[in-house]
Amino acid sequence: MNSALKWALVLGLPLLGSANADTLYLCQSYGGGQFWSSANCHNQSATVKRMVTVPDGLPFDQQVQLGEQQRAEGRRLATPAARQPNASNEQTSVTSGQCATITDRIRALDGMARQPQSMQMQDWIRRERKQLTDAQFRLHC
């Protein structure tokens, strides 16, 4: 591998913006297979999956290698980051305690709603229960 290519790989491919650049196409044949090509995929009865810019004058194998690296980087960037857990266990225990309290309160309201109540009382129970279920949602219970 020549030194210009090594530096291009190390520095994140700064040669891509140069005037001497080629376009490499990742094609998918109508049968499902994928291949790299320096010609447009349409000319080869295939669809374009990805286009990458590579330095001009490199052997095709090295251009494909650069294309695969750019493809892997694109996949890495497209993958959502893992969700970070809560910063403190104390906060988690407080939240789980709140969730348990809310769940108990909802059960009590459900028990009240099954008893004969006035219409106004049933409306109050319904409003209280809705507020509690909204709180459960906010806390991710």
- As separate numbers, helices (DSSP H) first and strands (DSSP E) second, the chain gives 4, 3
The residue extents of the domains of the chain are 3-78, 89-139
Classify each residue of 79-95 as buried b or exposed e, where b means 16 or more C-beta atoms within 10 Å of its C-beta.
Answer: eeeeeeeeeeeeeeeee
Task: Please report which confidence band the pLDDT of residue 128 belongs to, taking 50, 70 and 90 as the band edges.
Answer: very high
Give kind and range of the element (H or E) at residue 125.
helix 119-139
Encoding tokens for residue 40? Answer: 């447009």
- pLDDT tens, position by position, 59-114: 999 889 988 988 888 888 888 877 666 555 666 777 888 999 999 999 999 998 99
* Burial (CB count within 10 angstroms: exposed 0-12, middle 13-18, buried 19+), residue 25: buried
Q: How far is residue 54's CA from residue 61's CA, in Å, rounded to a whole number?
A: 11
pLDDT of 18 higher than 50: no
Higher pLDDT, 57 or 12: 57
Encoding tokens for residue 121? Answer: 């009382």
Task: Please report which confidence band the pLDDT of residue 22 belongs to, taking 50, 70 and 90 as the band edges.
Answer: confident
pLDDT at 109: 92
Higher pLDDT, 11 or 78: 78
List the Cα angle 55/47/39 in 5-degree steps.
35
Encoding tokens for residue 72? Answer: 């892997």
pLDDT at 17: 46
Q: Which of 9-23, 65-79, 127-141 has the lowest mean pLDDT?
A: 9-23
pLDDT at 35: 92
